[in-house]
Amino acid sequence: MASARLLSLLLLAPGVPALARSAQAPSTLGSAPDKSSQGPGGVGASWQARPSEATAARNPAPDESWQGPGEVEAPRRNSSPDDASWESFPGATSVPEGKDAAALPQLPEVPPLVPVDDVALPPSPTPARRPRQPEGPPPVPNRVSLLGARTMGTGGFAAGFSLGFPLLSARAAVGVLPRVDALVGVDSLYGMMTELRAGARWMMLDGGPRWSLGLAVEGGHAFFLRPASVEDKGARYLSGRRNWNVQPGIVGNVQLKGARAPRLFFDVRYHLSFDTEPIQRTPLGGLPPAVVTGSAFPLRVGAEMPLSEKTSYSVTVGGDVRTRPEDADFMPVLSVGIVTGL
């Protein structure tokens, strides 16, 4: 009987652990299955695992055992940072245990920002100045005038030449008194008419170097290439001259400011002509007189522009207003030339 009981205990001994496990099974009911019991490729583990658990399985949390003292784990993605952890992150404000803060290296202080307008800029270097060259004497003003009212003075001499339409001319002035010049010259219509002239110039008013006003008179005898009987709008028509001519008038000049500034002039004359070869141009007019007079009014304005102390070039414009019926009512005049003195 005893042997039979011992044999029953030996047979029941292997079943005790199984009974123990069966007693604990209700407490673990509903938990996730153990993945370690499934081999690779097990289907039950792949569909029963939740997404978060699958992500945790692929990206396991790092082991914090390697972190040293004073180091704080950085927050993971999609998680809010711990302010307390970041404030204790080692940096310029953290002091390790057992060390004095004064013994640690300090960061340099950042200077305050200063507005650009308040910044003191260094003065720009002053360029080296070249030594000033010694200035020469001031230019001598030009007082040589042949077309205005200013005279040459006693013993002075001036000469000039001009080329234009309708005449080319040459003039010379010699000072016989402080305010009186003797004038000689020649006018030519490019060979078709040539007139020798003589006259005088008197400076009545002297306004110093700036202005002057005077009287001038010139007269001469003209020689024509062709006689009046065969001439039609030729030398007499273009020049307005006749055999003898007298031209009294008023002349003046104004000197602009400056030693070599232009000198403006004007010349207003009355032209009285004496024709010793008159022609009766109307039928049954009878025999013309021996001398026929005519009148015209030459008007000139221009400038003498100094080139040096004694030399200037001149520009003259104007015209002749004529009263003779066989002449043009108005003949324009334009010329350029040069004036020089001794």
User: Would you state the pLDDT for residue 37?
Assistant: 43
pTM, to two decimals: 0.60
Q: How far, in Å, are 72, 93, 127, 300 from residue 89 at the CA level?
A: 7, 9, 57, 103
User: Would you state the pLDDT for residue 260?
Assistant: 84
How far apart are the C-alpha atoms of 101 and 284, rounded to whole Å? 140
User: Would you state the pLDDT for residue 48?
Assistant: 45
Kindly state the percentage of the chain with pLDDT values over 90.
48
Does domain 157-341 sit in CATH 2.40.160?
yes
User: Would you state the pLDDT for residue 229?
Assistant: 86
Q: Which of 182, 187, 221, 178 lies closest to 200, judged by CA?
A: 182
Residue 326: Cβ within 10 Å count? 14
Is residue 337 within 8 Å of residue 321, measured between CB atoms? no
Is residue 194 within 8 Å of residue 186, measured between CB atoms? yes
User: Would you state the pLDDT for residue 120?
Assistant: 63
pLDDT beneath 50: ranges in the chain? 20, 23-49, 51-52, 54, 56-57, 64-67, 89, 91-92
Mean pLDDT value across the chain: 78
Q: DSSP letter at 178? A: T
How far apart are the C-alpha atoms of 260 and 313, rounded to whole Å? 12
How far apart are the C-alpha atoms of 22 and 24, rounded to whole Å? 5
User: Would you state the pLDDT for residue 342?
Assistant: 83
Tokens of 168: 């080319």
**Contacts (Cβ under 8 Å, ≥6 apart) of 6:** none
Q: Is 18 left (phi over 0), alpha (psi -120 to 50) or beta?
A: alpha
